[in-house]
Amino acid sequence: MVTEAPAEAAPGWFDRFYFNAHRGSEPPYLMVGAGVYPDKQLADGYVVVVTEHEQINLRVSTKAGQAGRIGPLSWEAVEPLRTWRVRLADNPSGLACDLTWTARTEPWLCRPVRLDGRDGESMSFDHAFQSGHHRGWLEVDGVRTEVAGWTGQRDRSRGRRPLTARQGLHLWVQAQLAEASIAFLFDLDRDNRPTLLDGAVLGTDGGQDPLVEVGHRLEFADTLDCLGGTLALRTRSGRRLELRVDPTRARGGFLAGAGYGGFHGHDHGRDLVEHDRWDLRDPELVPRKIGYPLTDRLARFEAVEDGRTEEGAGIFEFAHSRSPAYRYRPSDRAR
C-alpha cells in the first residue's frame, strides 16, 4: 500500500484493501481490511468474524506507523496480484489468524467509480477485485480452525468515497463457483435506474467475460435485510445466466462493526485497539437500525445456464437506502 498520495489527490484520499474468507455457505466467515490516508498520516483496519450467533469486531487505528502493520494486524503482498499474507496477533478481541491468500482468477480492474456526496461534490475512486483461496488458520476464543481451500475475494480501492452517495440500492456480488467467480458492482439510484454496472465472469483459466446487463428481482424485509432473489445476467459474449441468491443461511456481516460509516480516516490517537461483540439473535440488529446499513452477507448461490445448475457460495453485499423516499422495485428484465 502507498505511503504518499498522488500529487493531484484531494484531501481524504485513501488506499484500502479488503479480504473475505469462507468455507462454503455456512459460518464462520471472516472479513479483514485496512486503509492508509497519506495526507492525514493515519492508518486503520479491522477484522470481523461472523459465527452462527455472534459477530466479533476488532478495529485498529494508528498515526503514521509502520508500513504493513497496525497494532496486532499486519499484511504483506508476497507476490503482487498473486499472493498476500494477513496476520492477526494476540489481542483482547479473542480473534487471531495467519492466512495466505493465493489468486485463482486474474484481477478485474473497474472503471473509475464517480459518486456525488451529500453536498453535491463529485468524488471518484479506483476499484479492483479478484478471487482466490486461503490456507492457514483462524482462531476464535482459543479454538483454532485449520484453513485449507477456503474461498476468498480480494478487493482494492483507492481514491475518495462519500459516506452517502444518494443511492437507492447498492450491490457487490461475489459468487464463487468451481471454475469461475461471478463478481460485479451494481447500483440503482432512488428512481431505481441503474447508475453503475462493472464486473465480469472471471474464469480460473484466466478468461474474463464482462457483464453488460443485470436484471434483478430481490426481496427486502421491512428491516431492509435482503431475503434473497434472482439476478438475470448477460455477458458481452452473449452468455445468459440466472443467478439465484440465498443470503438467509447466516446473519451478520454488518460493516458498521468494521468501522464503516464514521471510524475510518479519523484520528483516534496512536495505536488504538477496540473490540465488541454483537449478538446476532438480537431482533434490533438490522440494517434499518444500525449506524451504517452496508452488509456483507454470506450467501448460497445457484448459477443456471442452458438448463444446467451449479451451486456455489460467496459474499452478497447489499445496502438498501433508509430514505423514506425510496423503495426498491424489481426490474422488468429479471426472469
Confidence tier at 6 by pLDDT (50, 70, 90): low
Grid coordinates standing for 167?
443511492
7/125: higher pLDDT? 125
Radius of gyration over every alpha carbon of the chain, rounded to an integer in angstroms: 19
pLDDT digits (tens, 9 = 90+) for 74-89: 999 999 999 999 999 9
Specify the DSSP class assigned to residue 2: -
* Cα–Cα distances in angstroms (integers) from residue 250 to residues 16, 227, 296, in the given order: 27, 11, 11
248 pLDDT higher than 60: yes
The backbone torsions φ and ψ at residue 45, rounded to the nearest 5 degrees and listed phi first, read -165, -175
Q: What is the structure's pLDDT at 5?
A: 53
CB 183 within 8 A of CB 153: yes
96 pLDDT higher than 80: yes
Rounded-to-10 torsion of CA 116, 171, 16, 292: 70
β-pairing, 194-203 with 180-189? Answer: antiparallel
Nearest to 43, CA basis, from 274, 257, 258, 270: 270
Question: Across the strands, what pairs with 133?
Answer: 102, 151
Confidence tier at 285 by pLDDT (50, 70, 90): very high
Q: What is the structure's pLDDT at 335?
A: 47
Which residue pairs, CB below 8 angstroms and at least 24 apart, start in 66-75?
A: 67/1, 67/3, 68/1, 70/34, 70/43, 70/44, 70/45, 71/271, 71/272, 71/273, 72/273, 73/32, 73/34, 73/45, 73/47, 75/17, 75/34
| Across 22-34, average pLDDT | 96
Nearest to 85, CA basis, from 145, 144, 154: 154
Q: What is the structure's pLDDT at 255?
A: 98
Q: What is the structure's pLDDT at 64?
A: 77
| Across 29-42, average pLDDT | 93
CA dist., res. 233 & res. 307, Å (int): 15
90/14: higher pLDDT? 90
122 pLDDT higher than 70: no
- Amino acid identity, position 195: T
Q: What is the structure's pLDDT at 126?
A: 84
4 pLDDT higher than 60: no
Confidence tier at 167 by pLDDT (50, 70, 90): confident
208 pLDDT higher than 50: yes
Within 10 angstroms of residue 323's Cβ, the number of other Cβ atoms is 12
CA dist., res. 231 & res. 216, Å (int): 5
Confidence tier at 298 by pLDDT (50, 70, 90): very high
Q: What is the structure's pLDDT at 120?
A: 54
Which stretch, 2-16, 149-163, 165-179, 181-195, has highest mean pLDDT?
Answer: 181-195
Confidence tier at 239 by pLDDT (50, 70, 90): very high
Which residue pairs, CB below 8 angstroms and at least 24 apart, start in 114-118?
A: 115/161, 115/162, 115/165, 115/167, 116/162, 116/165, 116/166, 117/162, 117/163, 117/164, 117/165, 118/162, 118/163, 118/164, 118/166
Nearest to 231, CA basis, from 300, 333, 319: 333
118/228: higher pLDDT? 228
34 pLDDT higher than 60: yes
Specify the DSSP class assigned to residue 250: S
% of the chain residues with pLDDT over 90: 82
114 pLDDT higher than 70: no
Average predicted confidence (pLDDT) for the chain: 92
pLDDT digits (tens, 9 = 90+) for 251-263: 999 999 999 999 9
pLDDT digits (tens, 9 = 90+) for 138-166: 999 999 999 999 999 999 988 866 555 57
